[in-house]
Amino acid sequence: MTPRYNALTLVFGFVLFTGFVTAQPTPIRIMPLGDSITHGTPVAGGYRLPLYHMLTNASYIVDYVGTSTANPSPDLPEINHEGHGGWRISDPSLGLYENIFGWFETIEDPHAVLLHIGTNDSGGGTRFTNAVDRLDALITRIALCQPSAHIIVTTLMKRGEPNYTAITNWFNPFVPTKVAAQQALGRRVHFLDMHAYLELSDMADNLHPNAVGYQKMANAWFPAITNIIGTSPAPNQPAPIRALGTVANRGAATITFNKPLSLDSATNTANYAIDQGLTVTSATLDANLRTVTLATSQQAPQTTYTVTLNNIQDRTEPAALTIPANSQVTFTSPAPPALLSASGRSNRTQIDVVFSKPMSPSSATNIAHYTLSGGLTLHSATISGDHLTVTLVTSKQTEGASYTVTASDIDDESTPTPFTIPANSQVTFTAYKPPMPRGYWNYVP
């Protein structure tokens, strides 16, 4: 074989080889979202395990997304999810509604959200009567953050009494109507009657499915996903997740997005408009490409502003996608400082005064800014390392007596212009009094 023929063969062979290369299927990002049933209690992997294998057997590349990796299975490569035991639709500490922003800021944007939530709410007595309205608010929040995601919303499954009647009376009958109303707004929300797929005998403890029950859940999810997504998911549209003001900077706010953005569009100040006369002077895109920091004119204290966004694009190739027109997020500007509490120490010559936010050391340690009732005199003031607590040194306090601390002219650390505590702010405290000794006079042995 001559060198020339050998070279041509190699080149021709490479051309033939590259000609047979085909594009890989696009992974489908699925967010399992809910409570302990999404978590999978008491079966490793829950419904996520059989659903994963059903989808992969149908040639899908599955990418479960979420911040939790609890309750994995050796047979489940994709362990991420957002199932949290004991959580509710909405709750100050254990609510999906209250935490969904933070999860979306952490994960990649999902193509499908599998939403099964409300079981823990059903034990809430009369408060459950409006749980379906809280579900609707949660769906709205998800849809605005992830406008391209298909949100599959289910009814609740059968469970033991006394809470099952509440589910059938106050929740399940109204879910389809809520879903239909979301669809009428053009949102990608879909209904799945999970209640119809499982019986009480499929529950391990009258609440959580057993292995057979979780397989039935997977059987329900599978056609709902495949009928909606088709053979390959399209790229998701970018959208803002939320805006946040700062604690101390009266000229800044941050906006987070559901996916990476193009630098030019994200930093173009013309793409942002803020109400109430606030102007945007600059926009900076963070290294994560999903967070924009806006510099603004000086914000009024504790004011809620609405930011309207347009023409901001992602990095999709070959054609970038643009956020929905006139997308809106709100943020609240820093609040003025306030006195929270005061407490006397056991030496009866010191008082710890706590503020709501970090204070300027120079003004907070100026004893001319404090007056004390009851004839107490003030000798000195020091501030803690976090600038939240000021310790006042006083003349001797009377044991068990009540005193009032009055503060004025104390500034916080807000920039560019600090806030000043409201004039004559007051807190009271009781001077330390030792506990009554045990013994004869108290008839205590």
Task: Report the pLDDT value the prediction gives residue 123, as an integer from 0 to 100.
Answer: 78
User: For the segment 392-401, what is each residue's pLDDT rounded down to a tens digit?
Assistant: 999 999 999 9
Task: Report the pLDDT value the prediction gives residue 439, as an integer from 0 to 100.
Answer: 58
Task: Report the pLDDT value the prediction gives residue 435, as an integer from 0 to 100.
Answer: 86
> Are 105 and 60 within one domain?
yes
| Segment 130-149 mean pLDDT | 97
Task: Report the pLDDT value the prediction gives residue 23, as an integer from 0 to 100.
Answer: 54
Residue 201 has pLDDT above 50, yes or no: yes
Residue 143 has pLDDT above 60, yes or no: yes
Going by pLDDT thresholds of 50, 70 and 90, the confidence category of residue 15 is: very low
> Are 375 and 316 within one domain?
no
Query: Is 318 a domain residue?
Result: yes
| Segment 174-178 mean pLDDT | 98
| Segment 78-94 mean pLDDT | 96
Residue 124 has pLDDT above 70, yes or no: no
Domain range for residue 151? 28-229
Phi, psi at 232, each rounded to 5°: -155, 130
What is the distance between the terminal CA atoms of the chain, rounded to a whole angstrom? 110
| Segment 237-257 mean pLDDT | 96
CA angle, corner 276, sides to 274 and 282, nearest 5?
35
Give the sheet arrangement for strand 350-355, strand by strand. Answer: 339-344, 350-355, 389-394, 378-383
Give dist(CA 179, CA 137) in Å, integer. Answer: 11
| Segment 264-290 mean pLDDT | 98
The sign of the CA dihedral 241, 245, 247, 252 is: positive
Residue 181 has pLDDT above 90, yes or no: yes
Radius of gyration of the chain (CA): 30
Candidates 378, 41, 431, 396; CA nearest to 205 is 41
Query: Is 5 a domain residue?
Result: no
Q: Which of 317, 332, 347 is the last residue of a domain?
A: 332
Task: Report the pLDDT value the prediction gives residue 441, as an integer from 0 to 100.
Answer: 52
Q: Which of 77-86, 134-143, 162-171 has the lowest mean pLDDT?
A: 162-171
> Are 77 and 205 within one domain?
yes
Task: Report the pLDDT value the prediction gives residue 4, as an integer from 0 to 100.
Answer: 32
Give dist(CA 206, CA 119) in Å, integer. Answer: 12
Q: What is the mean pLDDT of the chain?
A: 92
Task: Report the pLDDT value the prediction gives residue 3, as an integer from 0 to 100.
Answer: 35
Task: Report the pLDDT value the prediction gives residue 231, as an integer from 0 to 100.
Answer: 83
Q: For residue 37, what is the enclosing H or E element?
A: helix 36-39
Give dist(CA 266, CA 310) in Å, integer. Answer: 10
Task: Report the pLDDT value the prediction gives residue 62, as an integer from 0 to 100.
Answer: 98
Query: Is 18 a domain residue?
Result: no
Task: Report the pLDDT value the prediction gives residue 42, as an integer from 0 to 100.
Answer: 98
Task: Report the pLDDT value the prediction gives residue 232, as an integer from 0 to 100.
Answer: 85
Task: Report the pLDDT value the prediction gives residue 72, as an integer from 0 to 100.
Answer: 97
Give dist(CA 320, CA 255) in Å, integer. Answer: 20
The residues near 68 (Cβ < 8 Å, ≥ 6 apart) are 39, 80, 81, 82, 83, 84
Give dist(CA 235, CA 172) in Å, integer. Answer: 33
Q: The CATH number of the domain where 381 resides is what?
A: 2.60.40.1220
Q: Which of 229, 250, 274 is the last residue of a domain?
A: 229
> Are 180 and 293 within one domain?
no
Candidates 63, 171, 169; CA nearest to 116 is 171
Task: Give the orientation angle of helix 48-57 with respect to helix 211-229, to 10 degrees.
Answer: 40
The pTM of this model reads 0.86
